[in-house]
């Protein structure tokens, strides 16, 4: 604790990245919904947001992913409360890992927390002998693109992927040397 101006004591913020556990799944699903509905509202339709949340953030899917040995889920804890998360996995290409998800709640952005999640993914990538970390980001997600470029990623290609339900993902594939 440190003393504030009027003699009050303020607790220092505790921030850490920890592996996601089965017990954390419901909190992650709720956080993903909150982040996605706010962040993507000006980028993709509400119908596509809900469709993608149902595809990617179900308890069953997350439990299955937590069992995989080639895929990792991390949570960002700020004062012991989940404030962000990331997932990444080894691709079929030798020496390549994909950063599949990296999200930080809007109240906690621009504090270096996304970088902490990215650093954890890079540490795992190096431990598994990867020389490349790649990701896909919506072409209209300008803030995320700028953040990834700040961390050394570059745009490698432009892709449009049909995800079903009448929706597509219109993305840049970005790469970073590990």
User: How many other C-beta atoms can be found within 10 angstroms of the C-beta atom of residue 47?
Assistant: 11
Q: What is the pLDDT of residue 10?
A: 58
Average pLDDT along the chain: 94
Check pLDDT > 80 for residue 70.
Answer: yes
pTM more than 0.85: yes
DSSP for the chain, please give it.
Answer: -EE-TTS-EEPPPPEEEEE--GGGHHHHHHHHHHHHHHHSTTTS-HHHHHHHHHHH--HHHHHHHHH-SSEEEEEEEETTEEEEEEEEEE-SSTTEEEEEEEEE-GGGTTSSHHHHHHHHHHHHHHHTT-SEEEEEEETT-HHHHHHHHHTT-EEEEEEEEEEETTEEEEEEEEEEE-
User: How many other C-beta atoms can be found within 10 angstroms of the C-beta atom of residue 171?
Assistant: 18
User: How many other C-beta atoms can be found within 10 angstroms of the C-beta atom of residue 95?
Assistant: 13
Check pLDDT > 50 for residue 140.
Answer: yes
Q: What is the pLDDT of residue 12?
A: 84
Query: Across residues 41-45, what is the average pLDDT?
Result: 95
pLDDT-derived band at 8, boundaries 50, 70, 90: low
CATH number of 14-177: 3.40.630.30
Q: Which two tokens stand for residue 61?
A: 């899917």
Q: Is the dihedral of CA 60, 162, 30, 90 positive or negative?
A: positive
- Angstrom distances, CA of residue 57 to CA of 46, 49, 51, 70: 16, 11, 10, 18
- Residue extents of the structural domains in the chain: 14-177
Query: Across residues 157-165, what is the average pLDDT?
Result: 97
């Amino acid at each position: 604790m440190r003393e504030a101006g009027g003699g009050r004591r303020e607790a220092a913020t505790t921030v850490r990245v920890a592996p996601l556990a089965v017990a954390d799944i419901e909190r992650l699903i709720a956080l993903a919904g909150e982040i996605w509905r706010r962040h993507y509202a000006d980028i993709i339709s509400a119908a596509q947001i809900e469709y993608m949340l149902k595809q990617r953030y179900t308890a069953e899917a997350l439990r299955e992913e937590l069992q995989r040995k080639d895929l990792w889920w991390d949570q960002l804890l700020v004062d012991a409360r989940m404030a962000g998360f990331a997932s990444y996995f080894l691709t079929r290409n030798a020496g390549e890992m994909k950063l599949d998800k990296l999200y930080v709640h809007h109240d906690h952005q621009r504090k270096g927390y996304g970088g902490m999640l990215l650093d954890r993914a890079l540490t795992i990538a190096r431990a598994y002998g990867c020389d490349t970390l790649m990701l896909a980001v919506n072409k209209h997600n300008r803030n995320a693109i700028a953040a990834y470029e700040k961390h050394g990623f570059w745009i490698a290609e432009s892709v449009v992927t049909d995800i079903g339900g009448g929706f597509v993902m219109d993305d840049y594939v970005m790469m970073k040397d590990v």
